[in-house]
Structure 1
Amino acid sequence: MGMTQKQQDKAKQRFYEDIDNVDGNDLEYASKKGRKKVDSLDGDPPGALEKLWDDIKTMIQLIWDYRNGNYKAVPWKIIAAVVAAVIYFVSPIDFIPDFIPGLGYIDDALVIKLALDMAGEDLASYKEWKKTL
């Protein structure tokens, strides 16, 4: 069993609305809570997120570096999309609660994928930048 079309539409709508509301406080929240959640799940990422796991970690690192002023070569709209996706991922309140075995992270995966579709080129540039350090 997966997400219904209605659940998918609601998750997408929330994600796109959240992008427009991201501010500086959300950068800190997403970077700290994102790191904490990834650390807690890193040995065994949820199945729905397994293929996206490295990208999720890269998104959180990007937010961290952007927030700290280390990397600013990314448009605000892309940062806002990445932040909105990470906040959705760490939030206990979403359309399919994370604690439901086998299903809990399906909506998170959808939102992360939407952000990756928007931020793909910028994440690739960020990864190249990280290699130069």
Structure 2
Amino acid sequence: MNDRRMKKSYFNKAILLFELFRKHRIHGDDFAKAASKSAYLDEKVDEFRLLIAMGKDVFAGRYRMDKWNLSIIAATIAYVISPLDAVPDVIPLMGWVDDATIVAYAVSKLTDEINKYKAFIQASAA
């Protein structure tokens, strides 16, 4: 496959993924699917589980965050549970590298929100 056709193929796949994630609404089942897939994320497991917990607490009304930060969490969860990936999950090892990369990117964008959430959790436990 020549370089131009390969770029067009990736572009078309990116558009399809964008449309899928743009229309996706997170449900309770999505949180359960995400939790079950988290084990494949190696060193990003704890960070992804934290994002899941944050999303659950927002949807349950226990924690508030702005819509932009929530959209990052929702898109990250949707990407990880989606069968459509830049690198399909059925490819051993490599299939989860893109998911872990997306989680790392989301965590880097949500550093302040994660710190606020951790403080909220500590205050709630006290």
TM-score range, shorter chain: 0.7 to 0.9
Conserved? CA contact 2:34–2:52, under 8 Å: no
Runs of 4+ in 1 over 6 A off after TM superposition: none
1:81-92 superposed matches below 5 A: 81-92=72-83
Change (3 A) 1:35 1:123: farther
Residue number in structure 2 paired with 1:71: 63
Residue number in structure 2 paired with 1:55: 47
1:1-133 superposed matches below 5 A: 21=22, 26-28=25-27, 31-38=28-35, 40-41=36-37, 45-46=39-40, 49-72=41-64, 74-133=65-124
Shift of 1:85: 0.7
**How many equivalent residue pairs?**
111
Conserved? CA contact 1:60–1:86, under 8 Å: yes
Shift of 1:81: 0.7
Shift of 1:33: 1.7
Decide which structure has the larger Cα Rg and report it: 2
Instruction: Give structure 1 stretches of 5+ with no counterpart.
Output: 1-5
Quick check: which one's helix share is greater?
Answer: 2
CA distance in 2, matches of 1:82, 1:113: 12
CA distance in 2, matches of 1:94, 1:34: 18
Write the letter of the residue equivalent to 2:73.
V
